[in-house]
A and B are shown apart, each in its own frame.
Chain A
Amino acid sequence: MFFIPSGCRNSASSRTWSPARVKQDLVPGRTTTLRITPTRLGDYKVRCAEICGTGHANMLADVQVTSADDFTAWVQERLQAPVYADMTPEERGAIWYSDPPDNQYRPCSGCHSIDGSTMSGPTWLGLYGHQVQLTDGTTVTADDAYIRESILNPNAKIVAGFQPDVMPQTFGDTFASIQADILTNEGVEIDMIADIIAYMQTLQE
């Protein structure tokens, strides 16, 4: 079965375009459906097919077609509520990267790759601790302070070759709300950004 990302940038209608070459608009305010019968297993890409703003050319997401058994197993796994308190920061960071709880925000994986490929945002592979060149010509080190600022205030520093006003500005609020939920449910204080930083440190080349 497909995993089609919901809640695509709510600033525009997007049109998802899967490798089976079908299209369906996601329109704010209504639920649209698309039925497909996939016949080949594999990893594919869903690409936005309706002009949605500056990042339209790079708006894409991953799709995995798996066997029915694998899918059932995947669903079972996700139905288990993760116990965040028992995880290491790196493990939590990997979850915040690609699989936000209840899809409360668009995953980082939608714009930042971990394999070196360029998407709407810079790749995280080999990012931590290295030099980064910005659009204003200066060079900074991608340390903890830089990463924390980049998440809370994305337009403060733009890496050369990328655009301002693409990354959502709302992660600060969203993370705070998720952290408050985890505090309520498990009684532990999590710092999502510290988790993400820990995960990034594992992504060295």
Chain B
Amino acid sequence: MNKLSIWLTSAYVRGLIGQVIGTALGIGFVQAIRGAMGLEYNIEPGVVFGALIGVLGFLLAAGVFTDWIKWIFGKKTPLRHGTPPGKPQWSRYLNVDFNHKVIGIQYGFTSVLVLLIGGIFAILFRIELAAPGMQFLKNDQYNTLFSAHGIIMIVSILLGVGAMINYLVPLMIGASDMAFPRLNAFSYWVGIPAVVLILSGMFVGGWDTGWVGYPPLSLRAPLGVQMFLLGFYIAGFSSIAGAINLMVTVATMRAKGMSLFRMPIFVWAAIATSIIQFTATQTLGMALLMVVTERAIGLSFFDAASGGNPILYQHLFWFYSHPAVYVFVLPGLGIISELLPVFSRKPLFGYKWIALSSLGIALVGFLVWAHHMFVSGMSDVLRIPFMISTLFVAIPTGVKFFSWVATMWEGKLSFETPRLFVMGAISVVLIGGITGPILGTIPTDLALHDSYWVVGHFHSTMFGGFIFPFFAAVYYWYPKITGRMYKESLGKLHFWLMTPAFWLMSLGQMRAGLLGMRRRIADYDPALGVQTTQVLITVAALIIGWSVLIMVYNLISSARAKEKAAMNPWGSRSPEWQIPYPVPEFNYEVPFEVVGDPYDYGLAGSKYIEAIPIPAVGD
């Protein structure tokens, strides 16, 4: 089969065709019923039903449900592993594959692609915002672009979290795969139609509600808001299924001797992340579905004139969306903890405390949601406990920061690209973290809520908690994934372009907020005096965009290098670095046993894992 036909018969293409057909069938079905009932013309209920059937169509056509459907009919399906016969190895990445490493890489590629799409939206509206007055965007186009930017970036982060957790955790605990490989494939593939839905919203009228979708505005927004709500809803299934898979895997598939406090620290981060995803996502699903049905079939949850309450939406939405931000950053903070000992040649300081702090952040994170609602008209008195709990989150977070400093203290530090991105991550998430309590304190929040200060705060926390660590992880595990080394010079160029630019962008956004600029505005009053700041932020955004493209070029071109990378270029003690490239299908051909602590770098005679000798025949 030639390259083109492999692409054209890939699950991506088949799925998209299935989604289009399913959507058409769904719309047609509802319109036919409406016609037969003599109802007036309204495309929206049909579009909602069609969107959901389209997602089913995607998954069926891509082949995600095939094994499960066969089980319903009593057929057995062996777990297919390895490259399908007659096809090249790379075609595995284009189809439904059950190997966690393949799925992890699929997640990773999709995450970066979606990141670039969201980045283009940002560049467009940042160029518009560089000068007051509307230059080339209309208000509704601007509003759609920032709304799409927000949700697309969130989906990119969720996909990137999925990439790291899926690729790394089974390797780190000595398992051959995740506990439920077919569910794992489902978790990845369900995200694709979700992204398609969200992007399609931009072509059916767009939407201006931002990624939060508050009613009453979302009840009156154009049709695009339905595609956004449904896409976001469908993406939730990926989180929930992935979380179940991870928790069962870690509970049941750890190597011999790997007690909970001898796991690599990233696994703790993955556990905390999964607990949040498993518990909170459903509330968001409800909130979104309530707006969908209020629009499509006339229910009355949030419309005050019909007895509804708009603030109910905010509670349901933020009950998920605050813990969600910890989903976004906990894995990244885990990557920082994972990499620092390797690049400092020192044990991880306070391993147990760091492990428990991830759980602590997850727990406290559930208790703070109303800090997004201090000005919403919620009960005045109830704001105070939320302020207290919000400030409490700083404690487990601080545990991590101080442990990192102690890990580096008097260590043998080296500054390859992954380490640089870890340091960048720490600096950026520090700014983000420090600017949080100012928002968490009610009086200062009254001045800064929905201003550009908030924009600066969350970009810092998201970049510092996800983007920088994700890039660190990509560079770090690149030799294990591709067997080649990326170009160090380009990696450093990427870092040194992106980090100062990001500081400029963050501090600029915060300055604009202090000067009084609101967020989510297509245009600003020149009298505010923020234009210079806006120009600087736009320039910074462009530099960040280019630096990411440099990384993409580096990763793609280095994969074709002739020279193979060493098996363990970083001198890590983690299990995945003790096996060669290409990583075997089932990871560890010789199982290992854990005989020591994971981060005893520099401790003479210490060992983390030992291969379990395979008994010879006849013993």
Residues of chain A at the chain B interface (Cβ within 8 Å): 10-13, 15, 17, 21-30, 32, 47-58, 161, 163
Question: How many residues on chain B are close to A (CB under 8 Å)?
Answer: 35
- Please, how many angstroms separate the alpha-carbon atoms of A55 and B217 in the complex? 12
Is B311 engaged at the interface, CB distance under 8 Å to the other chain? yes
Q: How far does the Cβ of A166 sit from chain B's closest Cβ, in whole Å?
A: 9
Q: Are B447 and A22 in contact (CB under 8 A)?
A: yes
Which residues does chain A contribute within 8 Å of B310, judged by CB atoms?
A: 13, 27-29
* Extra 12 A-B pairs, beta carbons < 8 Å, given A51-B208, A54-B140, A163-B139: A15-B449, A21-B516, A23-B375, A28-B310, A49-B449, A49-B451, A49-B518, A51-B143, A51-B210, A56-B139, A56-B521, A161-B134
Q: Are A29 and B138 in contact (CB under 8 A)?
A: no
- Please, how many angstroms separate the alpha-carbon atoms of A12 and B139 in the complex? 17
Partner of B208, one of A10, A26, A27, A53: A53
Q: Are A54 and B376 in contact (CB under 8 A)?
A: no
Minimum CB distance partner of B451 in chain A: A49
Taking A13-B216, A57-B139, A57-B521 as contacts, is the C-beta distance between A25 and B377 under 8 angstroms?
yes
Minimum CB distance partner of A32 in chain B: B377
Q: Are B216 and A15 in contact (CB under 8 A)?
A: no
Q: How far does the Cβ of B506 sit from chain A's closest Cβ, in whole Å?
A: 21
Q: Are A23 and B450 in contact (CB under 8 A)?
A: yes
- Please, how many angstroms separate the alpha-carbon atoms of A52 and B214 in the complex? 9
Is B204 engaged at the interface, CB distance under 8 Å to the other chain? no
Q: How far does the Cβ of B518 sit from chain A's closest Cβ, in whole Å?
A: 5
- Please, how many angstroms separate the alpha-carbon atoms of A58 and B142 in the complex? 14
Is B520 engaged at the interface, CB distance under 8 Å to the other chain? yes
Which residues does chain A contribute within 8 Å of B520, judged by CB atoms?
A: 51, 56
- Please, how many angstroms separate the alpha-carbon atoms of A52 and B311 in the complex? 15
- Please, how many angstroms separate the alpha-carbon atoms of A12 and B313 in the complex? 14
Which residues does chain A contribute within 8 Å of B217, judged by CB atoms?
A: 11-13, 51-53
Q: Are B305 and A30 in contact (CB under 8 A)?
A: no
Partner of A47, one of B138, B209, B518: B518
**Residues 129-182 of B at the A interface (beta carbon under 8 Å):** 134, 138-140, 143
Most chain A beta carbons < 10 A, residue from B216, B311, B516: B216
Is B8 engaged at the interface, CB distance under 8 Å to the other chain? no
**Residues 437-462 of B at the A interface (beta carbon under 8 Å):** 446-451
Minimum CB distance partner of A17 in chain B: B518
Which residues does chain A contribute within 8 Å of B214, judged by CB atoms?
A: 13, 50-51
Q: How far does the Cβ of A58 sit from chain B's closest Cβ, in whole Å?
A: 7
Q: How far does the Cβ of A99 sit from chain B's closest Cβ, in whole Å?
A: 24
- Please, how many angstroms separate the alpha-carbon atoms of A26 and B214 in the complex? 13
Q: Are B140 and A163 in contact (CB under 8 A)?
A: yes
Q: Mark B177-210, 1 if CB is under 8 A from A, else 0.
A: 0000000000000000000000000000000111
Which residues does chain A contribute within 8 Å of B518, judged by CB atoms?
A: 17, 47-49
Q: Are A29 and B208 in contact (CB under 8 A)?
A: no
Q: How far does the Cβ of A134 sit from chain B's closest Cβ, in whole Å?
A: 15
Which residues does chain B contribute within 8 Å of A48, judged by CB atoms?
A: 518
Is B37 engaged at the interface, CB distance under 8 Å to the other chain? no
7 A-B pairs with least C-beta separation? A29-B304, A28-B304, A21-B447, A57-B521, A32-B377, A12-B217, A51-B520
- Please, how many angstroms separate the alpha-carbon atoms of A28 and B215 in the complex? 10
Minimum CB distance partner of B308 in chain A: A29
Minimum CB distance partner of A52 in chain B: B217
Minimum CB distance partner of B528 in chain A: A47
Which residues does chain A contribute within 8 Å of B134, judged by CB atoms?
A: 161
- Please, how many angstroms separate the alpha-carbon atoms of A15 and B216 in the complex? 13
- Please, how many angstroms separate the alpha-carbon atoms of A29 and B134 in the complex? 34
Minimum CB distance partner of B217 in chain A: A12
Q: How far does the Cβ of A70 sit from chain B's closest Cβ, in whole Å?
A: 26
Which residues does chain A contribute within 8 Å of B522, judged by CB atoms?
A: 56-57
Which residues does chain B contribute within 8 Å of A22, judged by CB atoms?
A: 446-447
Is B523 engaged at the interface, CB distance under 8 Å to the other chain? yes
Q: How far does the Cβ of A31 sit from chain B's closest Cβ, in whole Å?
A: 9
Is B524 engaged at the interface, CB distance under 8 Å to the other chain? yes
Most chain B beta carbons < 10 A, residue from A13, A32, A51: A51
Q: How far does the Cβ of A117 sit from chain B's closest Cβ, in whole Å?
A: 10
Minimum CB distance partner of B311 in chain A: A27
Minimum CB distance partner of A163 in chain B: B139
Taking A57-B139, A163-B140 as contacts, is the C-beta distance between A28 and B516 under 8 angstroms?
no
Most chain B beta carbons < 10 A, residue from A10, A52, A56: A56
- Please, how many angstroms separate the alpha-carbon atoms of A51 and B377 in the complex? 16
Minimum CB distance partner of A16 in chain B: B375
**Residues 307-325 of B at the A interface (beta carbon under 8 Å):** 308-311
- Please, how many angstroms separate the alpha-carbon atoms of A54 and B520 in the complex? 11
